[in-house]
C-alpha cells in the first residue's frame, strides 16, 4: 500500500513563556485530529510535543501537499489556539501567520515534512522534533547518517546502501534547490550544507532506486513573516533499516552535541541536546535547544508508537556535554559567537534598535571596505 506520512507542526502558545505546551491545548489539537481520523481524512495520527511546539504525525493516502490533510492540521491548530487564548498562554497562535486557509499550510507559518512511499514488510520511521532552533540543525546529522561511513557502518557493510544517497539542498533565500549525489559529490555537498545560515537539506534519496529516505521541514518563519516571530523549531522524518541506516545509526549523530542557531530570542548559538519526551522543556535561557526522537512502526498505515528513543542513559553523556557547552557559551553573554552574527540578527528584533540609531553614524575619514571580488587588496598565493 502506498501511504503518505505527513508531519505538520506549530507553536500555538507557550506554557510558561516559550518553555512548554499546556495539556489542554494539546488535548484540543488531538481531539480535532482524532475527529479527522473518524471522518476518514487520515488513517492515523499521533500528537507529540517538544518545548512549546506541537506536531501532528499523520498517515493517509492523499499524497504530499494534500489539501484535506493540511486543512485538518490548520483547523486543529486554530482550535488549539482558541484554548491557548482563553488561558492567555504566551504567544497564543504564534506560528499561525494568516487568518484564512488557502489550500496548503506551507508559507502560513507551520512547519511541514511529508513523504510518500510503498509501505515495506516492516516500516520503522523516526520523527525528530526540535525546539529553539532552525531547519539547518539537521544538516550535520543528515550528513553523518547518510554520507559518513564512520557514523553509518551500513554504508560500507550493507550492499543495499553501498551506492550511497542523494541530498536535495535548498537555498532558503532563493527557494531554489540542488541535488548532490554522495559519495561522488560529497565535497560539493559539504560546501553548501556547512553554510548552515543559508543552505538546508530538504530531502535524502537512495541512489540505487531513488527511494525517499528522509525529509525535513525547511520553512523559515522569519522569512515568511518578514519579521521575528520565534524560531522555526523543525521536524525531520527518517526511514530506518533494510536499505536505510539502522535505527541506531540514525540516532548516533546525536550522541555528540554540536552547535546550532536558535536558543534565547532565536538569536544565539547553542548545543542541541537530545532528550526524552519528559525532558523536552527548555528553560535555561529559554534553552538550550532540544531534540526528541519519536520512533514508529507503520503497520497498514497505522502508527505503532511513539517510542521515546532518546530515553536511553547512553545519551546521558551527550546531555551532560550539552549542558557544559551551554554553560561555556553563556559566559560570552551578548557577545559573538554566542550571539549570532549581524546578517542573522537582521531576522530578529535588533533592526528596530539599529533603525533608531542609524543617523548617529558620522563619517570620520576612515577608508570604506572594498567590495569582495573588486581585485584590490586580494591575497595572491
Residues that bind Mg ion (CB under 5 A): 11, 14, 18, 51-53, 91, 131, 230-231, 233
| Strand order through the sheet with 44-50 | 44-50, 53-60, 2-10, 111-118
Catalytic residue selected from 15, 143, 199, 228: 228
N residues, the chain? 381
The interface region with ligand 13P, picked from 96-104, 108-116, 203-211, 230-238 by CB under 6 A, is: 230-238
The interface region with ligand 13P, picked from 40-48, 258-266, 316-324, 331-339 by CB under 6 A, is: 258-266
Number of H helices, E strands in the chain: 10, 15
Rounded distance between C-alpha atoms, residue 270 and residue 282, angstroms: 12
Residues contacting ligand 13P: total by CB under 6 A: 16
231 interacts with ligand 13P by CB under 6 A: yes
Rounded distance between C-alpha atoms, residue 204 and residue 44, angstroms: 25
- C-alpha grid cell, residue 200: 538546508
- Whether the bond between 191 and the residue before it is cis, its omega within 30 degrees of 0, is no
Among 123, 233, 308, 344, binds ligand 13P (CB under 6 A): 233
- The continuous run of DSSP H or E covering 350 comes out as helix 350-357
Rounded distance between C-alpha atoms, residue 349 and residue 339, angstroms: 13
Which of Mg ion, ligand 13P, none is residue 265 near (CB under 5 to 8 Å by kind)?
A: ligand 13P
231 is catalytic: yes
Among 18, 220, 319, 339, binds ligand 13P (CB under 6 A): 18
264 interacts with ligand 13P by CB under 6 A: yes
Strand partners, 239: 125
Strand partners, 271: 259
Among 123, 261, 286, 308, binds ligand 13P (CB under 6 A): 286
- The continuous run of DSSP H or E covering 299 comes out as strand 290-299
28 is catalytic: no
Residues with Cβ within 8 Å of 46's Cβ and at least 6 positions away in sequence, in order, are: 56, 57, 294, 296, 303, 305, 306
The interface region with ligand 13P, picked from 81-89, 225-233, 305-313, 337-345 by CB under 6 A, is: 225-233
Nearer to ligand 13P, 40 or 341 (CB): 341
11 interacts with ligand 13P by CB under 6 A: yes
Among 154, 245, 266, 301, binds ligand 13P (CB under 6 A): 266
SS3 92: coil
User: Contact, 230 vs 236, CB < 8 A?
Assistant: no
Q: Annotated binding residues for beta-D-fructose 1,6-bisphosphate, as ranges?
A: 18, 90, 103-104, 132, 241-242, 265, 286, 347
Q: List the x/- string, 69-98, binding to ligand 13P by CB under 6 A.
A: -------------------------x----
**In this structure, how many other beta carbons lie within 10 angstroms of the beta carbon of residue 28?**
22
The interface region with ligand 13P, picked from 107-115, 189-197, 263-271, 352-360 by CB under 6 A, is: 263-271
In the complex, least distance from residue 286 CB atom to ligand 13P, rounded to whole angstroms: 4
Catalytically annotated residues: 11, 228, 231
Query: By the criterion CB under 6 A, which residues form the site for ligand 13P?
Result: 11, 18, 51-52, 94, 131-132, 230-231, 233, 246, 248, 264-266, 286
Amino acid at each position: 500500500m502506498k501511504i503518505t506520512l505527513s508531519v505538520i507542526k506549530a507553536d500555538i502558545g507557550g506554557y510558561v513563556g516559550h518553555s512548554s505546551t499546556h495539556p489542554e491545548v494539546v488535548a484540543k489539537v488531538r481531539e480535532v485530529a482524532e475527529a479527522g481520523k473518524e471522518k476518514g481524512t487520515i488513517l492515523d495520527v499521533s500528537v507529540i510535543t517538544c518545548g512549546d511546539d506541537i506536531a501532528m504525525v499523520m498517515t493517509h493516502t492523499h499524497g504530499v501537499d494534500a489539501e484535506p490533510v493540511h486543512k485538518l492540521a490548520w483547523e486543529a491548530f486554530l482550535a488549539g489556539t482558541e484554548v491557548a487564548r482563553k488561558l492567555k498562554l504566551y504567544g497564543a497562535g504564534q506560528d499561525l501567520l494568516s487568518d484564512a486557509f488557502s489550500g496548503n499550510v506551507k508559507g502560513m507559518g507551520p512547519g511541514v515534512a511529508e513523504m510518500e512511499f510503498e509501505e515495506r514488510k516492516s516500516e520503522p520511521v523516526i520523527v525528530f522534533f526540535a525546539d529553539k532552533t532552525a531547519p539547518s540543525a539537521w544538516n550535520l546529522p543528515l550528513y553523518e547518517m547518510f554520507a559518513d561511513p564512520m557514523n553509518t557502518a551500513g554504508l560500507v557493510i550493507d550492499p543495499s546502501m553501498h551506492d550511497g544517497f542523494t541530498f536535495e539542498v535548498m537555498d532558503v533565500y532563493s527557494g531554489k534547490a540542488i541535488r548532490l549525489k554522495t559519495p561522488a559529490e560529497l565535497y560539493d555537498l559539504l560546501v553548501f550544507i556547512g553554510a548552515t545560515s543559508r543552505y538546508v537539506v530538504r530531502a535524502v534519496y537512495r541512489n540505487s532506486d531513488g527511494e525517499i529516505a528522509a525529509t525535513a521541514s525547511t520553512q523559515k518563519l522569519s522569512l515568511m513573516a518578514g519579521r521575528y516571530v520565534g524560531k522555526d523549531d523543525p521536524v525531520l522524518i527518517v526511514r530506518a533499516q533494510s536499505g536505510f541506516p539502522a535505527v541506531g545509526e540514525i540516532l548516533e549523530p546525536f550522541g555528540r552535541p554540536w552547535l546550532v542557531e536558535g536558543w534565547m530570542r532565536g538569536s544565539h548559538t547553542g548545543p542541541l541536546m537530545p532528550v526524552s519526551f519528559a525532558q523536552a522543556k527548555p528553560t535555561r535561557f529559554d534553552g538550550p535547544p532540544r531534540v526528541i526522537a519519536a520512533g514508529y512502526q507503520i503497520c497498514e498505515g497505522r502508527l505503532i508508537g511513539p517510542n521515546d528513543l532518546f530515553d536511553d542513559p547512553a545519551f546521558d553523556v551527550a546531555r551532560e556535554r550539552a549542558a557544559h557547552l551551554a554553560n561555556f557559551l553563556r559566559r560570552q553573554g551578548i557577545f559573538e559567537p554566542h550571539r549570532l552574527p549581524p546578517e542573522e540578527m537582521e531576522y530578529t528584533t535588533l533592526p528596530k534598535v539599529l533603525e533608531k540609531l542609524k543617523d548617529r553614524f558620522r563619517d570620520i575619514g576612515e577608508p570604506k571596505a572594498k567590495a569582495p571580488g573588486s581585485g584590490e587588496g586580494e591575497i595572491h598565493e
